[in-house]
């Protein structure tokens, strides 16, 4: 029997965050214009080549992937209307939707999918990694694509999200120089919205795709993505009615409570389940006091993470227990706990023989919230007797220092992509220690047992075996503290309540305008 | 000297300025002894309004840090940066101006072109660039403020020296064969000092403002609290909590005002024409 959708159940534990009122009883209304904030202005919109957050947010509504993901990260049909998995879990067959056309009218076929795989392998670092287990991709006919894997790969059905694997038009890109292709500036996709114009520094305008394959959708006529560089001005733009949608992270946290109280305003933390951003402190395991496990554990005990959540993040998010966010598959909280305990931190430091050596702290230059957090953590660590010096940098400078391993403690947050094999292991396995790059194992943690567990976990079957492996890995990591996990972040999306059904999937606003409608 | 104090004390603005400066300096020197706690420590609940708790008289900021403690520690940084960077600017500007004015000719040309090179760049922009390149720290901030504020000193000193150089007593010193260094140091500079002192007092004020502006933009030393930092950090929450920005802002205003008043008083006291009039 083919194991269908069931196998794709990517989530062990559902997120309790409320989804925007599904408004099932109400009949969607057609028409209207939505103004949304996009922050910062994206460097480009060609999703296959640029994967910045704002690019994904705009272009996720222009391009499409083979699959979409529910808030529980179960795969849903998108360009692929159904799929089957062979008994040995090595062959995945996708049936493509019929009658789909590109925005320029050309039909979409399996050849586009094959071409996209080739292109993404060269232009999209994460897609390249995700496709590493793929032996070959074939298209027996125009509406069928068959992926054959080298070995079973548990999270395979989790890699087809639009930002991870956008399908691009072969007829416009084949044989051209991708970097200079004119369609990079006016992207052509299959999605519910078509690119119309981009006034640099002002707005990006998308219009409804009238030939969209799901009849009646999209309901909205136009989307204006407003570009407003100053955080305070973005809040004001919402208050004055210039914009109706503030996607997560586009206003400062301390403005959220004030904006939430405004009339006809709806707030939700949903729509980030696929990314599950987890923040932590990189601890340089190679040198200095932090090379000692006891000092790293002391860091965990010394930092008041509930304070960070309640005060700095205004109560949003959740204190992290370990390397996996609680929304990630195989998450377990049955690990060593590190409550706020300065006395214990002091004792551990004493035991480790720490004598006031200077420790450099790199905050994250992402705005006020992160700056305040850096100050609070510094104070926490100083309170237990650590000698902390804050190094001020900009984003690029900070990335360079971290990539060159020229730091002791550094703030970061990373996406987890639903499965430990996709978004967790990369930060802890020793084969991912590569100087000069930022988001790999920059802490320099090296443990053969962890290497083996993550290697086994990616390809183990069945699910229960994977669960066992990853739970063991989490226990070991939390004991060793290669990095100091802080919070599972939550980026609330603020909208006028008349904007309905915007957030229905695990990537929220990124592909949400397909189902959104305006209650006028 | 006695006369100087007399005329200084006669000008009301000078007196007010002096009182403010003495007060500010004593707060900067002795204040931290009364507040042993670090101003970065979270002591109370965040956004506590002022005058509600006697332990935190001016309220707390977005993280629950004592605004009053921040003001006191901030005085230290603001005044220190103002004084030290002015001192450095004088150390650089006075010799350059003196040499240009005294030697004239090609030396003058070379030194003045060099000075003008700095004057053509807007000083605040240059300070931002320097701090950004050097990474914000107390040293880079002092250095960059000094770099942008020495050219006026050099030009002023040059002008004074140019006019003094033709006086008889200087000519006499040259004729008697004294060395150039001796003449500059003993004969010319002491007589050129009064306008420099007046300028210096105003430069301290400008330096405090520059440091505050840099810190406001997030280019302060991240390890030291300063008034500018407090204003910058509180700016975004000004609608929820006015006191976080207002108190340090007022502190900047008062100290800069005080220094300007002192400058005025000094000008009155040191300008021979004006002071004679008063007598």
Residues in chain B: 279
Q: What is the DSSP code string of A344-382? A: HHHHHHHHTT----EEEEE---S-HHHHHHHHHHHHHHH
Residues above pLDDT 70, as percent of chain B: 97
Chain B contact for A398, CB < 8 A? no
pLDDT-derived band at A20, boundaries 50, 70, 90? very low
* pLDDT at A15 > cutoff 60: no
Please tell me the distance from the alpha carbon of residue A385 to that of residue A375, in angstroms, as a whole number.
Answer: 15
Q: How far is CA A184 from the centre of its chain?
A: 23
CB-closest option in A376, A390, A397 to B223? A390
pLDDT of residue B60: 92
Chain A contact for B238, CB < 8 A? no
Chain A contact for B222, CB < 8 A? yes
Please tell me the distance from the alpha carbon of residue A273 to that of residue A14, in angstroms, as a whole number.
Answer: 9
Determine, for residues A254 and B236 on separate chains, whether the beta-carbon distance falls below 8 Å: yes
Please tell me the distance from the alpha carbon of residue A98 to that of residue A143, in angstroms, as a whole number.
Answer: 7
Query: Who's near A378: CB < 8 A, 6+ residues apart?
Result: A361, A388, A390, B40
Q: Which residues pair with A483 in a beta bridge?
A: A282
Please tell me the distance from the alpha carbon of residue A74 to that of residue A311, in angstroms, as a whole number.
Answer: 34
Question: Is the ipTM, as predicted for this complex, more than 0.85?
Answer: no
List pLDDT tens digits, range A132-168.
Answer: 889 999 999 999 999 999 988 888 999 999 999 999 9
Please tell me the distance from the alpha carbon of residue A162 to that of residue A145, in angstroms, as a whole number.
Answer: 17
- Neighbouring CB atoms inside 10 A of A21's CB total 12
Over residues B187-212, mean pLDDT: 92
Over residues B179-187, mean pLDDT: 91
A contact residues 179-238, partner B, Cβ 8 Å cutoff: 231-232
Q: Which residue has the higher pLDDT, B169 or A13?
A: B169
Structural domains in chain A plus CATH codes: 27-62+191-272+491-519 (3.40.190.10), 67-174 (3.90.76.10), 277-489 (3.10.105.10)
* pLDDT at A11 > cutoff 60: no
List pLDDT tens digits, range A216-227.
Answer: 999 999 999 999
Chain B contact for A368, CB < 8 A? yes
Q: What are phi and psi of A197, to 5 degrees?
A: -155, 160
CA distances from B147 to B142, B153, B204 (A): 9, 11, 14
**Helix segments in A18-109, DSSP class H:** 53-59
Q: Parallel, antiparallel, or unpaired for β A409-414 and A358-362?
A: parallel
pLDDT of residue A2: 41
List pLDDT tens digits, range A300-310.
Answer: 999 999 999 99
pLDDT-derived band at B164, boundaries 50, 70, 90? very high
Over residues A432-455, mean pLDDT: 90
Chain A residues with CB-CB distance to B128 below 8 A: none
pLDDT-derived band at A281, boundaries 50, 70, 90? very high
Structural domains in chain B plus CATH codes: 1-270 (1.10.3720.10)
Contact in structure between B59 and B49 (CB atoms under 8 Å): yes
* pLDDT at A39 > cutoff 90: no
pTM of the model: 0.83
pLDDT-derived band at A10, boundaries 50, 70, 90? very low
* Letter string b/e over residues B89-104, b meaning 16 or more CB atoms within 10 A of that residue's CB: bbebbbbbbbbbbbbe
Range of lowest pLDDT (A235-239, A459-463, B168-172) = A459-463
Q: How far is CA B8 from the centre of its chain?
A: 20
Residues above pLDDT 70, as percent of chain A: 95
pLDDT of residue A25: 55
Over residues B86-112, mean pLDDT: 95
* Letter string b/e over residues A341-356, b meaning 16 or more CB atoms within 10 A of that residue's CB: bbebbbebbeebebee
* pLDDT at B92 > cutoff 80: yes
Chain A residues with CB-CB distance to B40 below 8 A: 375, 378-379, 382
* pLDDT at A368 > cutoff 90: no
Please tell me the distance from the alpha carbon of residue B17 to that of residue B23, in angstroms, as a whole number.
Answer: 10
List pLDDT tens digits, range B230-246.
Answer: 998 898 888 889 999 99
Structure tokens at B117: 């090179």
Chain A contact for B224, CB < 8 A? no
Chain A contact for B217, CB < 8 A? no
* pLDDT at A13 > cutoff 80: no
- CA dihedral sign of residues B150, B156, B160, B161: positive
Chain A contact for B63, CB < 8 A? yes
Chain A residues with CB-CB distance to B41 below 8 A: 379, 383
Over residues B128-153, mean pLDDT: 94
DSSP letter for A485, please. Answer: E
List pLDDT tens digits, range A193-233.
Answer: 999 999 999 999 999 999 999 999 999 999 999 999 888 89
Please tell me the distance from the alpha carbon of residue A498 to that of residue A321, in angstroms, as a whole number.
Answer: 37
CA distances from A31 to A36, A493, A516, B261 (A): 16, 22, 11, 65
Q: Parallel, antiparallel, or unpaired for β A483-488 and A278-283?
A: antiparallel
Contact in structure between A65 and A78 (CB atoms under 8 Å): yes
* pLDDT at A437 > cutoff 80: no
Please tell me the distance from the alpha carbon of residue A193 to that of residue A211, in angstroms, as a whole number.
Answer: 10
Chain B contact for A311, CB < 8 A? yes
CB-closest option in B132, B218, B236 to A252? B236
Please tell me the distance from the alpha carbon of residue A13 to that of residue B140, in angstroms, as a whole number.
Answer: 51
* pLDDT at A344 > cutoff 50: yes
Give the residue among B21, B84, B65, B91 at the shortest CA–CA distance from B244. Answer: B65
Determine, for residues B62 and A254 on separate chains, whether the beta-carbon distance falls below 8 Å: yes
Burial of A86 (0-12, 13-18, 19+ CB in 10 A): middle
């Amino acid at each position: 029997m083919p194991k269908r959708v069931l196998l794709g159940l990517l989530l062990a534990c559902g997120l309790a965050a409320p989804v925007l009122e599904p408004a099932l009883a109400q009949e969607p209304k057609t028409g209207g214009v939505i103004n949304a904030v996009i922050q910062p202005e994206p460097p480009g919109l060609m999703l296959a080549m640029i994967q910045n957050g704002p690019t994904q947010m705009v272009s996720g509504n222009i391009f499409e992937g083979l699959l979409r993901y529910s808030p529980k990260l179960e795969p849903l049909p998108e360009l692929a209307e159904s799929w089957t998995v062979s008994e040995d879990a090595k062959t995945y067959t996708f049936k493509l939707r019929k009658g789909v056309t590109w925005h320029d009218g050309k039909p979409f076929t399996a050849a586009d999918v094959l071409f996209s795989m080739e292109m993404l392998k060269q232009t999209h670092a994460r897609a390249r990694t995700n496709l590493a287990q793929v032996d070959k991709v074939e298209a027996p006919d125009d509406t069928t694509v068959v992926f054959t894997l080298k070995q079973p790969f548990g999270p395979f059905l989790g890699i087809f999200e639009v930002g991870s694997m956008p399908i691009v038009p072969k007829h416009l890109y084949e044989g051209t120089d991708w970097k200079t292709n004119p369609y990079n500036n006016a992207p052509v996709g299959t999605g519910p919205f078509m690119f119309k114009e981009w006034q640099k520094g002002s707005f990006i305008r998308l219009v409804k795709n009238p030939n969209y394959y799901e009849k009646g959708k999209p309901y909205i006529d136009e989307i204006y993505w407003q570009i407003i560089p100053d955080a305070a001005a973005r809040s004001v733009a919402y208050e004055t009615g210039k914009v109706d949608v503030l996607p997560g992270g586009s206003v400062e946290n301390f403005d959220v409570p004030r904006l939430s109280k405004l009339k006809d305003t709806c707030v939700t933390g949903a729509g980030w389940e696929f990314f599950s951003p987890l923040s932590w402190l990189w601890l340089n395991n190679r040198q200095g006091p932090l090379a000692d496990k006891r000092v790293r554990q002391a860091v965990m005990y010394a930092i008041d993470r509930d304070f960070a959540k309640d005060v700095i993040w205004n109560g949003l998010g959740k204190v992290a227990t370990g390397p996996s966010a609680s929304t990630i598959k195989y998450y377990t909280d049955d690990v060593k706990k590190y409550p706020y305990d300065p006395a214990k931190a002091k004792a551990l430091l004493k035991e480790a023989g720490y004598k006031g050596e200077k420790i450099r702290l790199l905050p994250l230059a992402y705005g006020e919230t992160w700056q305040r957090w850096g100050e609070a953590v510094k104070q926490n660590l100083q309170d237990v007797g650590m000698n902390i010096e804050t190094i001020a940098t900009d984003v690029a400078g900070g990335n360079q220092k971290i990539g060159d391993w020229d730091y002791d403690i550094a703030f970061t947050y990373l996406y987890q992509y639903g499965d430990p094999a996709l978004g967790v292991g990369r930060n802890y396995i020793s084969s991912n220690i590569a100087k000069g790059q930022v988001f790999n194992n920059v802490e320099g943690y090296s443990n053969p047992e962890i290497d083996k567990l993550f290697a086994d976990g990616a390809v183990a079957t069945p699910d229960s075996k994977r669960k066992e492996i990853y739970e063991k890995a989490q226990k070991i990591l939390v004991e060793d503290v290669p990095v100091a996990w802080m919070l599972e972040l939550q980026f609330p999306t603020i909208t006028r309540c008349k904007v309905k059904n915007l957030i229905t999937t695990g990537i929220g606003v990124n592909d949400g305008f397909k189902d959104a409608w305006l209650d006028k | 000297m006695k006369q100087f104090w007399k005329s200084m004390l006669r000008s009301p603005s000078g007196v007010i300025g002096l009182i403010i400066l003495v007060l500010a300096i004593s707060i900067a020197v002795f204040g931290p002894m009364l507040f042993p706690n670090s101003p970065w420590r979270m002591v109370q609940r965040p956004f506590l309004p002022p005058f509600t708790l006697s332990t935190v008289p001016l309220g707390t900021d977005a993280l629950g840090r004592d605004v009053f403690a921040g003001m006191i520690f901030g005085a230290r940084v603001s005044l220190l940066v103002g004084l030290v960077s002015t001192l450095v600017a004088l150390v650089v500007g006075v010799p350059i101006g003196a040499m240009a004015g005294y030697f004239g000719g090609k030396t003058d040309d070379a030194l003045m072109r060099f000075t003008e090179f700095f004057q053509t760049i807007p000083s605040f922009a240059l300070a931002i660039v320097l701090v950004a390149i050097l990474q914000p720290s107390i040293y880079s901030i002092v250095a960059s403020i000094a770099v942008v504020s020495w050219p006026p000193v050099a030009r002023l000193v040059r002008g004074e020296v140019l006019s003094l150089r033709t006086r008889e007593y200087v000519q006499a010193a040259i004729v008697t064969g004294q060395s150039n260094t001796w003449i500059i140091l003993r004969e010319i500079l002491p007589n050129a000092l009064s306008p420099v002192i007046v300028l210096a007092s105003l430069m301290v004020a400008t330096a405090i403002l520059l440091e505050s502006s840099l810190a406001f933009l997030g280019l302060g030393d991240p390890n030291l609290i300063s008034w500018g930092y407090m204003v910058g950090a509180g700016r975004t929450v000004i609608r929820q909590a006015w006191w976080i920005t207002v108190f340090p802002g007022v502190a900047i205003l008062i100290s800069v005002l005080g220094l300007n008043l002192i400058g005025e008083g000094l000008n009155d006291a040191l300008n021979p024409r004006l002071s004679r009039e008063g007598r």
